[in-house]
Amino acid sequence: MRQPTARYQNFLMDSDRWTGFPFRAGDIVISTPGKCGTTWTQMICALLIFQSTDFPQPLDVMSPWPDVFTRKREEVLADLEAQDHRRFLKTHTPLDGLPFDEQVTYVTVGRDPRDVAISFDNHMANTDFDSLMALRAVAIGEPLPAAPGDQALGAVGNGGLAGQAGPAVLPPGVPDPAQSPHQRFWSWIGAEDDFVGLRTMLHHLDTFWQARHLPNVVLLHYDEMKADLDGVMRRLADRLGISVPEDRWPDLVRAAEFTQMKRRAKELAPETVIWRDPDRFFHRGVSGQWRALLDEDDLRRYRERVYALVDPDLVAWIHQAAPLDRP
């Protein structure tokens, strides 16, 4: 097993919690940038593993996030140890921050970053930071430290957080609700921290891009999943060595469609207690939302930023549904 060569740490997670992780042969690690179809991929894996649309547990219990600070690490490991089905886990840690085991399959998902920025903005507006920080405090036993210039949590959302008790701070990377959607988009694009933003997303995908030739590394794309869900699910099943009887495919594919998942939001959305509205976790699930927000000057600035960060071949793969000319 190859040990991680990088550590990723922020207010929400620490990749060091993967140290000494007891992998089993056949484990699946879904490692994606945020808002790139993580829950969708977990759902697809669950459908392929159980070959049923009914599951024994909520999705995020069956497929936990080991390095997140909302649960105690020992509790997550105990739950995983008790599982007798093929295990599938999620993380937002890039590939170089994970132990790499040849008996484990590592899956990522690419998406047009312009859509990711808009989806992330909705995601943050729907987050109940009181509940998130309460879970964090129980899981790791420490508050989020204040820093100069941090915003009060009461500034988040529609008129602030009800029931705010005591001084708290807005975690880094959370959009400022006082800004316009256009300003928040550019804040995400230009972010230089290690939690959110275009640079962080592209780095994550690049760690997989560099390893895409390996037999246990799988790159999926959000737009391909939208255009040909049946085909993507069949290809993933093949890469995972899972055989599905032909008569089961229609029901499994239908269950993985956005509208069907949205109907099961309370069962499928992760950590439902931290969302203002669990149904809104599955917001729109469409591509091209950025077209209504960006003009030609915005697109020129965006092209320059993207090509300054990663290899042109990776840029082309990420933007395959809306090709991005070189600046």
Which residues have a catalytic role annotated?
92
β-strands 88-91, 28-31 pairing: parallel
3-state secondary structure 189-219: HHCCCCCCCHHHHHHHHHHHHCCCCCCCEEE
CB 45 within 8 A of CB 63: yes
| 187 Cβ contact list (under 8 Å, min separation 6) | 175, 176, 179
CB 160 within 8 A of CB 154: yes
Distance, CA of 188 to CA of 184 (rounded, Å)? 6
Q: Which residues pair with 14 in a beta bridge?
A: 9
Q: Which of 191, 185, 156 is nearest to 171 (CA)?
A: 156
Distance, CA of 210 to CA of 212 (rounded, Å)? 6
